[in-house]
Chain A
């Protein structure tokens, strides 16, 4: 079992839909990152969080430390949101290693 699991692996949505991407992890963490990767390969950091909830524009990220689970929500989805969304966790105790999930490929159709 991978330390970081994402679901679903692929998702196709219609423009305007509300989208939820899930991430579960099995280790203690100091922080969790949500990243967006476009087909060219470049990665953009969306959120870094260690508790609670963060919001940026149409994106909301939540984390439940006790349940070892995080969600990324996209409201009013748009075709430009089409990308791979990756969850990565940073270990405790000063660990610098990020462990990544495999990513979830999102396609938003007009």
Chain B
């Protein structure tokens, strides 16, 4: 049990729609990162938030956006969904930018 909770666990959306995925971190974890994992591949870094500010971003278009709240929970928003956005979305939190990561179980998004 890592103490990192993601919701929902599964989600089906239609191309063009928007989706919000949520991550609740352990108390005191001020850093959260989001990753996209396509089937059979390793995770890809989307972005990281540290103390509510974006602190690094991978090669994802602007329609992928995020928020981190004062209680260190976090959201990943994806606009104008595409079929290729179908993947497992993982969040990971830590209590510092160079500390071990604690992963949630992920949200499996299917875009039809």
Task: Point out residues on A near B: beta carbons under 8 Å.
Answer: 4, 30-31, 33, 35, 40-45, 48, 86, 88, 90, 94-103
Contacts and interface: CB of A to CB of B under 8 A. Distances in A.
B42 A100 contact: yes
Given A31-B98, A43-B90, A102-B42, A97 B105 contact: no
Given A98-B33, A102-B42, A42 B56 contact: no
A45 B103 CA distance: 8
Nearest to A30: B98
B103 A100 contact: no
Which of A42, A86, A90, A100: most chain B Cβ within 10 A? Answer: A42
Nearest to B101: A45
B102 interface: yes
A96 B48 contact: yes
Contact of A42 (B41, B50, B100, B106): B106
A44 B2 contact: yes
Contacts of B90: 41, 43
A99 B35 CA distance: 10
A72 to B, nearest CB: 15
Contacts of A35: 103
A40 B105 CA distance: 7
A90 B45 CA distance: 11
